[in-house]
Amino acid sequence: MSVHDGPEGTVVAIDGRRLVLRLEGNPPGPFRLRVGTRQLSFHCVRDGEEVHLFWEGVAYRLRLEREGARPAHRATSGSLEAPMPGKVIAIKTAPGDAVRKGDELLVIEAMKMENALRAPRDGVVKAFRARVGDMVNPGAVLVELE
């Protein structure tokens, strides 16, 4: 993955896909995020250490944290965590299935984009900690591998 500023906006490259993002607007909004031909509107306001975000009909309250403000939490060895907040939209394997490095295990939808969670190594799926339709937060354990 790479992110850099270009003349047309912020360019994000993920797995060979190139997205051009442009953010328009001023606090308190509305803001408009342009992704290619798509336009997404949202409101966002900062209040001290909190950020209030209203996105697609849902209100979020985010708290700013400084690096090192709390101890790092790591999932148990052999588990895969959610890389971002989102909704589990597909589970591609089942407990007991043998998987190879790079196999797609499940898919999370975040901001109208599908993100595949892939096996980091060969192994056997021990358990899923999320089901299709579940909303997950970053760092939540989703899959355990043996």
pLDDT tens, per residue, the chain with 146 residues? 788 888 888 888 887 888 888 888 877 668 888 887 888 888 888 888 888 888 878 888 888 776 655 555 555 567 888 888 889 999 999 999 999 988 999 999 887 788 888 888 899 999 999 999 999 888 888 999 98
DSSP of 53-120, one letter per residue?
Answer: EEETTEEEEEE---TTSS----PPTTEEE-SSSEEEEEE---TT-EE-TT-EEEEEEETTEEEEEE-S
Give the amino acid at 88. V
- In CATH, the architecture of 79-145 is Beta Barrel (2.40)
- Give, in degrees to the nearest 5, the angle at Cα 126 between 122 and 131: 110
What are the backbone angles phi and psi of residue 4, rounded to the nearest 5°? -155, 155
Domains of the chain, residue spans: 2-63, 79-145
